[in-house]
Every structure is written in structure tokens, then in C-alpha cells.
Structure 1
Amino acid sequence: MPAVERREGEDLDSLIKRFKKECEREGILSEIKKREFYVPPSVERRKKKAKKRR
């Protein structure tokens, strides 16, 4: 989990913006979207094969 410390004189909006950028950089949001629904292993294998063929 990314940790963002508040800088002296920093407003809340810029703090949240830095936190979101840090989350994006670590790939947290993409991981959440990927795990949103269960995908059986057979479907994952099919997707990988299709991706390799392209």
C-alpha cells in the first residue's frame, strides 16, 4: 500500500492527487480491475493463446 506523507502547507487535493499517482504507478487499480470477477483457469489459458496468436 503506498504511503504518502503530507508536505508542509500542502492542501488536501494535491495530497490525494499524489496518492492516486502512486497507486497507479504500483498498478493497484489495474490489479483490482483484473480480480473483480473470477476467471476460470481454462478461460485464462484461452485468452493467453489468443494473445500470442496476434
Structure 2
Amino acid sequence: MQVSVRDNNVDQALKVLKKKMQREGIFRELKLRKSFEKPSQRRAREKAEAVSRARKMERKRLEREGF
């Protein structure tokens, strides 16, 4: 991942880098890898995330259709 620094503005470059890392899910992955997660807990978390994504997509679909 690369971020270019323009006009010696390192603060702006850091802000852009953090936003890119957030979008990619790097911070979330670091948090999850900090400690061991049992396989059953991982499956439960992934299932909950999938349900959450599905609900969000359904809300957006209904919003687009005007319901």
C-alpha cells in the first residue's frame, strides 16, 4: 500500500494511509489476531457478520426501491 506525500504534508499522507488501512480491514484483522480465537467462536463471529451484511444489503435495496 502506497501513499504519496505532497508538499511535505506528512499529516495529510498519514490521514490518507489510515483511511486506506481502515477500508482494507487491516486494523480489524490486527485486533482479531492479538489473541487466540477458538474455531467455534470464529464460526459464530463470521456467521453474525454475514447476517449483518445481508441485513444491510436488504435495507439498502429497500431504500433504493422506495419502500
> In structure 2, how many angstroms separate the alpha carbons of the residues matched to 1:23 and 1:30?
9
| Paired position in structure 1 for 2:38 | 40
> In structure 2, how many angstroms separate the alpha carbons of the residues matched to 1:39 and 1:6?
38
| Paired position in structure 2 for 1:18 | 16
Greater helix proportion: 2
Number of aligned positions between the proteins = 48
| Paired position in structure 2 for 1:5 | 4
TM-score by length of 2: 0.56
The code of the aligned residue for 1:22 comes to: K
Q: Deviations over 1:1-54 (max 9, x none)?
A: x211223x1411101101100100111000101111001213334x35xx47xx
Same amino acid, percent of matched pairs: 34
Higher relative contact order (CA 8 A, sep 6+): 1
Structure 1 gaps, min length 5: none
> In structure 2, how many angstroms separate the alpha carbons of the residues matched to 1:42 and 1:25?
27
